[in-house]
Amino acid sequence: MTYTLIGTGNMAKYLANHLSSSDFQCVGLYGRNSEKANNLASLLQTQSVEKISELPLSDVCLIAVSDQAIESVSKQLPKGQTTAIHFAGSATISQIFQQNKGVVWPIYSISPELHDKQIPVVIECNNEQANLIANQIAASLTNQIVAVRALERQWLHLCAVLINNFGNHLNAISKQLCTENGLPFQLFLPILQQTIEKINKGEDPKQIQTGPARRKDHLTLERHLSLLSEQPTWRDLYLSCTKSILEMYKNDQGMGNSII
């Protein structure tokens, strides 16, 4: 299968590393940074072009660019290019204007050197031709391929943001608080690992919830809010999470639902 590649970032390099060892041939590459484009083209033993419209026709064009750039890139593809795929979890399939279009989204923070075939990859396509190509690309990346509809992918991306992006943001806040107070953040690594291990074993996150909000420990909640008095944004975040936990377990027998 022939393909053209647009992009020179982590996703483009990740695709290049995997597809170069599969039954795929890159026949052209475009990147805004000509030096990076030439380097990646050399790795793939192909040509880099100065304009997207100069890319040769191929079985599929792989659009590995930022979410905001997908639509513009798709519009610039040669008119005879009938199939294109992007790799953004949140971008819609309608941002591609080719006849056959699809999305291949690895649910992972991608780095070029990644070679884990157990990472789930979600695909969404508008027809059977795009689906056939998307499955072949996904199969070069993983052993776990999940076909979904548009709305299902949006829900999956939302959950990924909650779990990974928001979860890590809380880690970043905690680390900064530790640093400001001369405390070692490493003390929390075992408890982080414990939670991950429980979920990996199939335990329901709702059932393993602990902490002052879960047990309606109002005194501790107020102390924590007081400690965050000089960090109003983080205080509001703590309060929002607390309210969410209280709401989730509000029907527990004998429990109140006020944090005050």
**Mind listing the pLDDT tens digit of every residue in the chain (260 residues)?**
999 999 999 999 999 999 987 789 999 999 999 999 999 999 999 999 999 999 999 999 999 999 999 999 999 999 999 999 999 999 999 999 999 999 999 999 999 999 999 999 999 999 999 999 999 999 999 999 999 999 999 999 999 999 999 999 999 999 999 999 999 999 999 999 999 999 999 999 999 999 999 999 999 999 999 999 999 999 999 999 999 999 999 987 544 443 43
What contacts 49, CB < 8 A, 6 or more positions away? Answer: 28, 29, 30, 55
Residue 22: what pLDDT?
75
Residue 251: what pLDDT?
87
Residue 142: what pLDDT?
97
Answer yes or no: do 113 and 157 share one domain.
no
Helix 10-19 crosses helix 128-141 at what angle (to 10 degrees)? 90
Residue 207 domain boundaries = 152-248
Q: Cα–Cα distance between 83 and 56 in angstroms, integer?
A: 13
Answer yes or no: do 177 and 158 share one domain.
yes
Phi and psi at 103, nearest 5°, equal -130, 135
Q: Cα–Cα distance between 170 and 240 in angstroms, integer?
A: 13
Domain closes at, from 94, 122, 148? 148
Q: 254 in a domain, yes or no?
A: no
Nearest-10 Cα torsion for 166, 169, 175, 180: -130
Answer yes or no: do 133 and 185 share one domain.
no
Answer yes or no: do 216 and 179 share one domain.
yes
In sequence order, what are the beta bridge partners of 48?
29
In sequence order, what are the beta bridge partners of 121?
106, 145
Residue 123: what pLDDT?
98
Domain closes at, from 130, 148, 166? 148
Number of domains into which the chain is organized: 2
Domain closes at, from 91, 125, 148? 148
Residue 182: what pLDDT?
98
Residue 253: what pLDDT?
59
**Cα–Cα separations (whole angstroms), residue 8 to 13, 29, 43, 63, 65:** 6, 9, 12, 10, 8
Q: Cα–Cα distance between 74 and 71 in angstroms, integer?
A: 5
